[in-house]
A and B are shown apart, each in its own frame.
Chain A
Amino acid sequence: MERKLEKFFYDDNIVKMFIMATLFWGGAAFLVGLIIALQLAYWPLNLNLDFLTFSRLRPLHTNAAIFAFAGNAIFAGIYHSSQRLLKTRLFSDFLTKLHFWGWQTIILAALITLPLGFTQGKEYAELEWPIDLMITIIWVVFAVNFFGTIARRREQHLYVAIWFYIATIVTVAMLHVVNSIEIPVSFLQSYPVYAGVQDALVQWWYGHNAVAFFLTTPFLGLMYYYIPKAVNRPIYSYRLSIVHFWALVFIYIWAGPHHLLYTALPEWSQTLGMIFSVMLWAPSWGGMINGLLTLRGAWHLLRTEPIVQFLIAAVTFYGMATFEGPLLSIKSVSALGHYTDWIIGHVHGGALGWNGFLAFGMIYYLVPRLWGADGMYSKKLMSYHLWIALTGILLYYISMVSAGITQGLMWRAISPTGQMTYPDFVQTVNAIRPLYWVRVFGGLLFITGYFIGIYNIWKTIAMGKKVSPVEQQAYALTFKDDSNENAHRKLEGLGTVFTVLVLVSVIVGSVIEILPTLSIHKHLPQDEQILPYTALEQLGRDVYVTEGCYVCHSQMIRTYTPDVIRFGPSSTIAESMYDHPFQWGSKRTGPDLARVGGKYPDLWHYRHMVDPRSMNNQSIMPAYGWLETKKADFYSLRKKLSVLRTLGVPYTDEQVSQADIWAEKQAEEVAAQLEKDGAPAGLKDKKIVALIAYLQCLGKKAKTGTDTSKWNNFPFKKVAGGEQ
């Protein structure tokens, strides 16, 4: 067979750019993380500024860590390794640049909008609809560029790392698009089409698979490439890597509901999520062992080579996190750990240990090669980075797991007489505050390691000689050879067929899991259904979402006795059936709010929002003083209610067309009562009134309830003797 020898150049410039972006945004993500850790340990650091308050910054931190730090690291590694594995330059220089600058623009947009409170209120999917669109477009750019590169390859076989990249690209596209189906109300606000339990299921299907297909599969691809590179040995078992791949693709997609154990989500769905999560144990550990054993016969490198140490530490953290994940998905463990800081500890073992160390190991491998230096400037500094950061992660992890278990046990503690041992929620917060300081210290160490790394990398780059791209040679592909290969191997060669297979398996899993729940609201018996929010309550709900209260407060009382004892009857599906988006939350730094309506007078809430310490002197909740001065936008309500009505919330024509009047009237009543009780005058057009109306209706919207239903009867029919 005649094959042509071709000459070409790799595009390493783009790899350098993505590495720079990784380091830059990584620093930003870590610093914001440190700030919010400090804010929990010491509330005055919220500084009474809306855009610097914990609940606005936490989404910024999570998004930056996932999409800016890990995202750019993935792109750097994928673009570097794919060119080598496929023996070709990237498909299009233009698309490559567009991908880079597009992604950085998205990050910049997030950096601006999130602190300003433009958010959808869905974890790790907070970015508003124009940015969602940008993400979709840039992801498509990435996909075209990547698949184009595959099509142009000069190596017939697709190495397993490429498989992991393919799975990443197609699945993330699906997750992002499905979870982001939303209807805009204004330039920077939208409502998701899903409500309540549907939204919860779709969101955690997305959320968990973001962990799986954004933070795991691409990093596994990188692992399968850079560990062999760093130790100059093939992967321990190529077969095992194939099994690892398919098992993850088949199983991960089902695991999402483990975030919703004991909630109002249908039982079968919870059980499904739990079983599939537990199944993940096996392939994950297989993958970890495969990575570790690649060092067989070269264990001495682990003593002498910091790059190898980083990579192996990363794989070890992968093993730890994937051991803990299934453990936390077991219902009885989840009962204790859910809503606590244990989950935060778990996540950071994964993000800092697995993603972070793998990224740094890869960067240390790449920097000298790309910038033309003979190895890193200082091996010693690399070791310092590793050990200081490792100590930091361990402190972080141990403190948060202890905090989580402590708090979980305190929440469930019952005295012999059947009373809660710690009836005041804030007691359970106080007990773990010292651990918040330990976490701060751990984070500080991790960041110290990061700065050592930056210095080392900077010195290395300064040392490097200018390198011009080196010409590569490879034979062009002819697809007809190797006719005796069996079907499976052909399949590996066939990028498209393979991609379709992956897509089919993730789609089938998703449809079966999600579809039944999507129609669940239709089948709720009439008498269980609830009243929709009044215009003012809906406005208050938007304030709640904007401020990000969901990062500290859940609105989902589990079917778990200690929850019921503390917060009241467990939440029902009906209670959130009009919630676009759902606000069940995932962490309780403050108490559950699902039944807070009517628990306190309006004045209590007013004082508490302006200064939480005035109502509960041990509170760590930030003050939200600006709600008292900022105006509520009543006029936005017509559009909002009309969008919500399109989505199935039963508002009448008049309610929609007079939404602002409806809200104003109710606001006047709330404000008048507040003033009578001693609050300042003139609150009726302020955000705080809307928020109070919302808080007071939580758990009170049953059709048979009497507390707030009066305002649901708007516009009031004229009866003898005037209105009402």
Chain B
Amino acid sequence: MKQEALAFFQNTGLTAFASVLFFIAFAIILYGVFQKKNRKYYEQMSQLPLEKEQCHER
């Protein structure tokens, strides 16, 4: 039975399920990211690379 099921495995069900799952996860991330109240935090984050390090006098 299982063998037969696998033999004709077109697998669309499982795949569709996974895609939907991924899509939902992604939607949640989108929602989280674009919440207005986080603006200041993201501004702060984006400054991280620009922080000055100690350098030799040139």
Contact = CB atoms under 8 A, between A and B. Distances in A.
A509 B22 contact: yes
A247 B41 contact: no
Contacts of B7: 523
A509 B15 CA distance: 9
Given A234-B47, A508-B18, A489 B55 contact: no
Interface residues on A, range: 35 or more
B49 A228 contact: yes
Contacts of A160: 45
A92 interface: no
A233 B9 CA distance: 52
A85 B48 CA distance: 7
A519 B6 contact: yes
Contacts of A10: 53
Interface in B14-36: 14-15, 18, 21-22, 25-26, 29-30, 32-34
B47 A239 contact: no
Nearest to B55: A470
Contact of B58 (A229, A374, A522): A374
B1 interface: no
A575 B29 CA distance: 45
Given A512-B18, A523-B3, A472 B53 contact: yes
Q: By DSSP majority rule, is chain B's interface helix, strand, loop, or mixed?
A: helix
A246 B43 CA distance: 19
B7 to A, nearest CB: 4
A470 B22 CA distance: 46
B25 A250 contact: yes
B26 A247 contact: yes
Interface in A90-134: none
Interface string A25-64: 0000000000000000000000000000000000000000
A266 B7 CA distance: 11
Given A250-B26, A508-B18, A512-B18, A238 B53 contact: no
B36 to A, nearest CB: 11
A239 B42 contact: yes
A234 B9 contact: no
Contacts of A268: 10-12, 15
B45 A512 contact: no
Interface in A236-281: 238-239, 242-243, 246-247, 250, 266, 268-269, 272
Contacts of B51: 84
A372 B32 CA distance: 43
A179 to B, nearest CB: 21
Contact of B49 (A85, A243, A505): A85
Interface in A503-519: 505, 508-509, 512-513, 516, 519
Contacts of A508: 18, 21-22
Contacts of A269: 11
Nearest to B8: A523
Nearest to B3: A523
A228 B22 contact: no
Interface in A479-520: 485-486, 488-489, 505, 508-509, 512-513, 516, 519
Contact of B33 (A228, A242, A485): A242
Interface string A151-163: 0000101011100
Contacts of B25: 250, 505
B49 A470 contact: no
Given A509-B22, A516-B9, A159 B49 contact: yes
A470 B12 contact: no
A473 B54 contact: yes
Nearest to A227: B49
Contacts of A488: 32-33
B10 A243 contact: no
B14 A512 contact: yes
A5 interface: no
B54 A489 contact: no
A243 B7 CA distance: 38
Contacts of B15: 268, 272, 512-513
A470 B9 CA distance: 62
Contact of B53 (A84, A161, A522): A84
29 contacts: A84-B53, A155-B48, A157-B44, A157-B45, A157-B48, A159-B48, A160-B45, A224-B49, A229-B49, A234-B43, A234-B47, A238-B42, A238-B45, A243-B29, A246-B29, A250-B25, A266-B10, A268-B15, A269-B11, A473-B54, A486-B32, A486-B38, A488-B32, A508-B21, A509-B18, A512-B14, A512-B15, A512-B18, A519-B6
What are the 9 closest A-B residue pairs judged by CB atoms, nearest first?
Answer: A523-B7, A234-B46, A238-B46, A238-B42, A159-B48, A488-B32, A470-B54, A228-B49, A512-B18
Given A243-B33, A473-B54, A509-B18, 7 more contacts: A84-B53, A234-B47, A234-B50, A268-B12, A269-B11, A513-B15, A523-B3
